Structure 1
Amino acid sequence: MRRTEEAATDAVDARLGARLSALRAERGWSLGDVAQRSGISRSTLSRAERAEISPTASLLNRLCAVYGRTMSQLLSEVETEPALLVRAAEQQIWRDRGAGFVRRSVSPPHRALRGELVEGRLAPGADLAYDRPPVPGLEQHIWVLEGALTLTVQDDEHRLDTGDCLRLRVWGPTRFRCVGDTEVRYVLAVVLP
């Protein structure tokens, strides 16, 4: 089963790399242009477009900001066909292994999504920081299903325990941290402004 999941992740990374390259080409931008707009080195961008590396959540967030998309919108663009129903076994899973983050796209993918559900899992001690929202003013609802999560929104820190839910609009940096000895699992509901 693990080998199948890794192969699926590699296939997603390959399609994602091709989509990132296409988005850049659609705008007539060079790697240098995207590097300047995102703060990501040209070599890292090139390696991500060629699927030589699996992009981190932070890197994808920066690229989503450059291309004006949420992460789910970008990931849905690498799916073959939008569906109305996605069975649990078919939901797209993406991993940032270095950060200890697993992201499951629960909502059926569609390019015109305004709202979506995502399941997030952070390993104990995981610390995931985003320097900007992919779309300014993005509305998010974070509902902790298991564990404890500390969420920093700009300068405000919120501790969420099992069952707690926080609603916010994202205009600046955010930081998700697993503060317990066990994994934190949460639902993230995202609504475009």
Structure 2
Amino acid sequence: MTLSQSLIVHYGSTMNCNDIDTRIGARIRAERESRGWSLTDLANRASVSRAMVHKVERGDSSPTANLLGKLSGAFGLSMSTLLARAEMAGGNLLRRNDQPIWTDPETGYIRRQVSPKSEMPLDLVEVTLPAGEEVPMPASAYAFIQQLIWVLDGSLVFDEGDVRHELQAGDCLHLGPPADCVFKNTGQVPCTYAVAVLRSG
């Protein structure tokens, strides 16, 4: 079974990847149409192909973390906000078994939305990056946010533009100005880290 065929836990139940792909695709289309953009407009703003945007909106293709970063940046949203709008219900309490989980089909990167949906400009996310994998993210994904990375288990190499940070369990990094970044797990075991995202608006 491939990663894109695996099951994702969603709101305490199992949900096929095609279902979450459809929800994400519908959210991306809604964000695009609310701005009056064509498929070509979004593709140009995100620096991706029009065909790829079309496939993602239709739920025909599982978006990678890198692609979602580019699309959310084009919308002026954090990736956390974009996914939360696609995934989450309301309520002040979000129990662990109900926290939405999304898996990157390319790397197996697992993203858990920890914080409940609210009007607070803060998102809290838990990420598990498998051993030997890396996830690049464009500078546009960080243009509208401030972010902290707190390593909970394992080790993480984080390339922030031309600067490399080697983080161990317990280390916490405040990201600087927007830059192309790469999250890397060069170790032999999965790395789990928390991301606190403060939105500017």
Whether these two folds match at TM > 0.5 is yes
Q: Please say if 1:158 is aligned against 2:168.
A: no
User: How do 1:42-121 and structure 2 match up within 5 A?
Assistant: 42-79=50-87, 81-110=89-118, 112-121=119-128
CA offsets 1:32-89 (integer angstroms, 9 cap, x no match): 1111111111111111001111111111111111111111111121246311111101
In the other structure, the counterpart of 2:189 is 182
- Partner Cα distance (1:60, 1:3) in 2: 20
Between 1:128-137 and 1:40-49, the stretch displaced more is: 128-137
CA offsets 1:124-149 (integer angstroms, 9 cap, x no match): 11111112142415221111111110
CA offsets 1:134-174 (integer angstroms, 9 cap, x no match): 24152211111111100011111000011111112341111
TM-score by structure 1 length?
0.91
Aligned length: 191
Q: Which runs of 5+ in 2 are unaligned?
A: 1-5
Q: Please say if 1:12 is aligned against 2:23.
A: no
In the other structure, the counterpart of 1:28 is 36
- Partner Cα distance (2:16, 2:91) in 1: 18
TM-score by structure 2 length?
0.88
- Partner Cα distance (1:116, 1:105) in 2: 8
1:12 Cα deviation after fit: 2.3
Between 1:92-101 and 1:6-15, the stretch displaced more is: 6-15
**Matched residue of 2:139: which SS?**
coil
CA RMSD after TM alignment? 1.7
- Partner Cα distance (1:114, 1:162) in 2: 26
1:179 Cα deviation after fit: 1.2
Q: Which 4+ stretches in 1 moved above 6 angstroms?
A: none
Instruction: Sort the Cα spacing of 1:124 and 1:135 in 2 relative to 1 into closer, same or farther, 3 A.
Output: closer
Amino acid across the alignment from 1:189: A
In the other structure, the counterpart of 2:3 is none
% of aligned pairs identical? 36
Confirm or deny: 8 A CA contact 1:79 1:109 kept in the other structure. Answer: no
**Matched residue of 2:148: which SS?**
strand
Q: Which runs of 5+ in 1 are unaligned?
A: none
CA offsets 1:103-124 (integer angstroms, 9 cap, x no match): 00000123x3411210011111
In the other structure, the counterpart of 1:127 is 134
